[in-house]
């Protein structure tokens, strides 16, 4: 361990670290996969609900809209959407950096591609 003399460690660091690590079994009882997937499942469920709602609204209005002008159709759509739902959608929490990074990593993009896409998006 002689090569490690270039970095110092606060006194008692490893002891307190080991004490913290030894509490993991009591903290981590529930299966981890479900807890980890929960936020993604919530997003997937929200997205599916939005698609289903949109589909239902379109089906309901399709017959009436055929005989109306374009403007009437748009007005009808706007009225038939729940205004609270729109406000909720607008005020929903934006995705965090962690979620964006997880998505990008899962999509197998290289760092260079990510950089390129992000650059195009912002310039």
Partner 1 sequence: MQDYEHIFNQLVKDYSEQLWWHVRRMVASQEDADDILQDIYIKIWNALPSFRGESGLYTWVWRIATNETLNWLRREKVRAALRFTSLDDQLQHRIEADPFFSGTAAQRELFKAVARLPEKQRQVFVMRWWDELSYEDISAITGTSVGALKASYHIAQEKLKLNLSEVDVSK
**Interacting residues toward partner 1 by CB under 8 A:** 3-10, 14, 17-18, 20-22, 24-25, 28, 31-32, 97, 100-101, 104-105, 111, 114-115, 118
Angle, helices 32-67 vs 70-80, to 10°: value is 140
Please report how close the Cβ of residue 26 comes to partner 1 at its closest, in angstroms: 9
Q: Which residue has the tokens 């980890």?
A: 36
| Selection from 98, 103, 62, 96 nearest residue 80 by Cα | 62
Nearer to partner 1, 6 or 70 (CB): 6
Give CA separation, 105 vs 11, 32, 57, 63, 100, in Å.
Answer: 38, 20, 35, 44, 9
Rama region for 81: left / alpha / beta (φ>0; ψ in -120 to 50; rest): beta
Nearer to partner 1, 62 or 101 (CB): 101
Please report how close the Cβ of residue 47 comes to partner 1 at its closest, in angstroms: 23
Nearer to partner 1, 7 or 63 (CB): 7
Nearer to partner 1, 3 or 90 (CB): 3
Please report how close the Cβ of residue 46 comes to partner 1 at its closest, in angstroms: 24
Please report how close the Cβ of residue 57 comes to partner 1 at its closest, in angstroms: 35
d(CA 113, CA 116): 5
């Amino acid at each position: 361990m002689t090569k490690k003399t270039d970095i110092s460690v606060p006194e008692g660091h490893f002891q307190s670290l080991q004490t913290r690590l030894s509490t993991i079994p009591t903290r981590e009882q529930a299966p981890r996969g479900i807890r980890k997937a929960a936020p993604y499942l919530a997003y997937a469920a929200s997205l599916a609900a939005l698609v289903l709602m949109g589909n239902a609204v379109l089906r309901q209005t399709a017959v009436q809209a055929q005989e109306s002008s374009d403007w009437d159709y748009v007005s009808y759509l706007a009225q038939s959407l729940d205004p609270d739902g729109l406000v909720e959608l607008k005020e929903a929490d934006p995705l965090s950096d962690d979620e964006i990074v997880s998505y990008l990593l899962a999509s197998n993009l290289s760092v260079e591609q990510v950089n390129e896409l992000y650059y195009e998006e912002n310039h």
